[in-house]
């Protein structure tokens, strides 16, 4: 009975199932353990790569300027697979040759060694990928039958991973990677990661191209609204306009200049509040009205601005704008600058001896605010061969910093290019502006000629 209760050899209740017996022979072999370890390692690597790839997608698609997008794609691919060198080859319109080549990873010494060497045009292995846009992995470039070698001074490269990038079904270019940091050749995992990145790269490139098209269209539209400066001789004149960096941000900045019947020259700069088509339309309307109002030489600039204010008061939705209307006229053997400001930054005067100064005065209130407020006139003697520069605040405003800092930077740039023609001066000011570029900007410059032939008053 006791035996029945305890079970055979005292193992307990005979009705309980026996514990399975595990023999050492049943344990996984070391090869199996190694295989499991490799699989776990591969899984961890894939998970890490997926996270990096997702972050890369966010980084690439966040760029809008095409040159920055292309460089970001190359740098991201290098980081994902640990490559020392990377490059993007952009194909020409026919898709036969490399029109642009963007290399990254070269040191300053390696770049110096390649100075004067023509950029690749798409021969050898680079050409192979152009004509056969399938992923290409090469363990030894020199031994590949289509290798064309490297030019003198080129750093040694042994391995290559190439992937084509397509935009809307058309091959846009190729992504080239060389030399993994760990010295190993590129593997299937690297190829898969770069192929996934190439798919995102095509979308990012297309977005950047569309952004550029929209921006170019907005800029073209804005320029069509701006006047072409007429023949202002004997004055030398120049002007420049730059759109805002945001896509489709059509602005309200404008400039204008006309010769008056008495030989004086009227010049105006203005900025309508807003960055849309409405602002651009309001700008064109204000420009045309102010050109008409400033044509009468007997009327001071303040009166023209006051009349503009009264006209705007009669409109249902009057635009708000800053403006500065000035007139250069001969007086007492010199030139005299008369101007009135409607909330606009002060004129910048470049004197023949190299001095640069702002003509600070009461800026007044913008047009469209209060038509009954008086508008003062200001006057300043201007020597022959001086340059008067008028500009919009987009040229000098730096977010989070006082306006004086931008004005000081503009004055320094103006002094550096004071000896150039007014056209070259305006172009230099627009290209070397201190602002962040998020606002459109306009600048116009007028240089006083000799007084020969002008009446003395």
**What average pLDDT score do residues 357-371 get?**
86
The residues with which 337 forms a beta bridge, in sequence order, are 328, 380
- Which residue, chain included where needed, has tokens 């290559």? 160
Tokens of 85: 């060198």
Cα 362 to Cα 405: distance, rounded to the nearest angstrom: 19
Q: What are phi and psi of 294, to 5 degrees?
A: -85, 0
Q: Using one digit for the tens of pLDDT, what is the confidence trace for 166-211?
A: 887 788 889 999 999 999 999 998 998 888 888 878 878 877 777 7
How long, in residues, is the chain? Answer: 457
Tens digits of per-residue pLDDT, 18-63?
Answer: 555 554 445 555 555 566 555 555 555 555 555 555 565 556 655 6
User: What is the per-residue pLDDT across 372-386, written as a single tens digit (0 to 9) for each?
Assistant: 888 999 999 999 999
* Average pLDDT of the residues in 251-279: 81
pLDDT of residue 8: 41
Is pLDDT larger for residue 135 or for residue 254?
135
Q: Is 416 left (phi over 0), alpha (psi -120 to 50) or beta?
A: alpha
- Provide the pLDDT confidence category of residue 158 given band limits of 50, 70 and 90: very high
State the average pLDDT for the chain.
79
pLDDT at 267 over 60: yes
More confident residue, 312 or 161: 161
- In the predicted structure, residue 1 carries a pLDDT above the cut 70: no
- Which pLDDT tens digit goes with each residue over 73-121? 899 889 889 999 999 888 887 778 888 898 999 998 888 888 888 777 7
User: At a CB cut-off of 8 Å and minimum separation 6, what does 323 contact?
Assistant: 268, 269, 270, 271, 286, 290, 305, 308, 341, 342, 343, 344, 366, 367
Q: What is the pTM of this model?
A: 0.56
User: Is the pLDDT assigned to residue 349 strictly greater than 90?
Assistant: yes
Contact status, residue 410 vs residue 231, Cβ threshold 8 Å: no
Q: What is the pLDDT of residue 133?
A: 85
Confidence of residue 15 (pLDDT cuts 50, 70, 90): low
Which pLDDT score, from 0 to 100, does residue 10 have? Answer: 43
| Intra-chain end-to-end CA distance of the chain, in Å | 142
């Amino acid at each position: 009975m006791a035996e029945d209760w305890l079970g055979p050899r005292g193992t307990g209740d005979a009705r309980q199932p026996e514990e399975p017996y595990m023999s050492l022979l049943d344990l996984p072999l070391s090869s199996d353990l190694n295989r499991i370890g490799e699989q776990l390692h591969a899984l961890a690597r894939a998970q890490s790569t997926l996270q990096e790839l997702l972050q890369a997608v966010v980084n690439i698609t966040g760029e809008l300027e095409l040159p920055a997008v292309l460089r970001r794609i190359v740098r991201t691919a290098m980081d994902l697979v640990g490559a020392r060198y990377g490059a993007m080859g952009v194909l020409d319109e026919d898709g036969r040759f490399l029109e642009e080549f963007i290399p990254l990873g070269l040191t300053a010494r390696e770049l110096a060694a390649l100075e004067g060497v023509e950029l690749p045009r798409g021969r050898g292995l680079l050409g192979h990928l152009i004509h056969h846009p399938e992923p290409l992995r090469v363990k030894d470039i020199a031994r590949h039958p289509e290798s064309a070698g490297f030019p003198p001074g080129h750093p040694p490269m042994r391995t290559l991973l190439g992937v084509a990038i397509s935009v809307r079904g058309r091959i846009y270019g190729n992504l080239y990677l060389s030399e993994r940091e760990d010295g190993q050749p590129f593997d299937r995992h690297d190829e898969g990661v770069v192929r996934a990145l190439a798919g995102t790269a095509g979308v990012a490139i297309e977005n950047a191209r569309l952004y550029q098209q929209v921006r170019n269209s907005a800029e073209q539209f804005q320029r069509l609204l701006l006047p072409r400066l007429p023949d202002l001789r004997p004055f030398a004149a120049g002007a420049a306009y730059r759109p805002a960096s945001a896509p489709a941000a059509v602005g309200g900045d404008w400039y204008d200049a006309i010769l008056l019947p008495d030989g004086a020259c009227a010049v105006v700069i203005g900025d309508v509040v807003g960055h849309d088509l409405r602002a651009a339309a309001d700008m064109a309307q204000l420009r045309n009205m102010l050109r008409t109002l400033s044509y009468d030489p007997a009327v001071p600039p303040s009166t023209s601005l006051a009349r503009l204010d009264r006209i705007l008061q009669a409109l249902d939705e009057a635009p708000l704008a800053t403006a500065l209307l000035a007139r250069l006229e001969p007086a007492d053997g010199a030139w005299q600058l008369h101007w009135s400001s409607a909330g606009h930054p002060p004129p910048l005067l470049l004197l023949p001896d190299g001095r640069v100064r702002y003509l600070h005065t009461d800026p007044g209130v913008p047009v469209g605010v209060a038509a009954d407020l008086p508008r003062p006139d200001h006057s300043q003697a201007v020597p022959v061969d001086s340059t008067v520069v008028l500009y919009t605040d987009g040229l000098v405003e730096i977010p989070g910093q006082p306006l004086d800092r931008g004005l000081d930077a503009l004055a320094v740039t103006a002094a550096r290019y004071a000896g150039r023609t007014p056209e070259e001066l305006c172009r230099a000011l627009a290209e070397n502006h201190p602002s962040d570029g998020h606002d459109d900007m306009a600048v116009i410059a007028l240089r006083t000629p000799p007084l020969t032939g002008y009446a003395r008053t």
